[in-house]
Amino acid sequence: MTPHLMEEGARRLATASGGRSAGFSRVAVAGEVDVTHGRILYLEDVSVSFDGFRAINKLSLDIAPGELRCIIGPNGAGKTTMMDIITGKTRPDAGTVFFGSTIDLLRYKESDIAQMGIGRKFQKPTVFEQLTVVENLELALKTDKGVRASIFFRPDSAESDRLAEVLRTIHLAGSAARLAGTLSHGQKQWLEIGMLLMQDPKLLLLDEPVAGMTDEETARTAELFLSLKGQHSLMVVEHDMSFIKTISEKVTVLHEGAVLAEGTLEQVQSDERVIEVYLGR
Ligand SMILES: Nc1ncnc2c1ncn2[C@@H]1O[C@H](COP(=O)(O)OP(=O)(O)OP(=O)(O)O)[C@@H](O)[C@H]1O
Ligand SMILES: [Mg+2]
**Distance, CA 80 to ligand 2 centroid (Å)?**
4
Q: Is 78 in the pocket of ligand 1 (CB under 6 A)?
A: yes
Closest ligand 1 atom to residue 51 Cα is 4
Which pLDDT score is estimated for 136? 95
Chain centre distance of CA 191:
15
Which pLDDT score is estimated for 148? 53
Task: Name the closest-CA residue to atom 1, ligand 1.
Answer: 50
Task: Name the closest-CA residue to atom 7, ligand 1.
Answer: 50
3-class state of residue 74 by DSSP: coil
CATH number at residue 224: 3.40.50.300
* Ligand 2 ion: Cβ-proximal residues, 5 Å cutoff: 79-80
Task: Name the closest-CA residue to atom 30, ligand 1.
Answer: 76
Of the bound ligands, which one is closest to the alpha carbon of residue 77? 1
Q: Is 77 in the pocket of ligand 1 (CB under 6 A)?
A: yes
Which pLDDT score is estimated for 279? 79
Which pLDDT score is estimated for 233? 97
Q: Ligand 1, residues 48, 81, 210: which to mutate, most atoms within 8 A of Cβ?
A: 81
Of the bound ligands, which one is closest to the alpha carbon of residue 89? 1
Looking at the 3D structure of the chain, how many domains does it have? Answer: 1
Which pLDDT score is estimated for 188? 95
Nearest-10 Cα torsion for 257, 210, 225, 72: 20
Which pLDDT score is estimated for 149? 56
Q: Rounded to the nearest 5°, which phi and psi values hold at 154? A: -135, 130
Q: Is 260 in the pocket of ligand 1 (CB under 6 A)?
A: no
**Contact (Cβ atoms closer than 8 angstroms) between residue 16 and residue 26:** no
Please give the Cα distance from 158 to 81 (Å, whole number).
36
Helices (H), the chain: 3-16, 20-27, 79-86, 110-116, 133-142, 147-151, 157-169, 185-197, 215-228, 241-247, 265-269, 272-274
Which pLDDT score is estimated for 20? 35
DSSP per-residue string spanning 199-210: T--SEEEEESTT
Task: Name the closest-CA residue to atom 25, ligand 1.
Answer: 75
Which residues span the domain enclosing 175? 3-279
Closest ligand 1 atom to residue 90 Cα is 1
Q: What is the mean pLDDT of each run of 10 residues along the chain (281 residues)?
A: 46 39 39 84 98 97 97 96 97 97 95 93 87 93 60 74 94 96 95 93 96 95 96 96 95 98 96 89 55
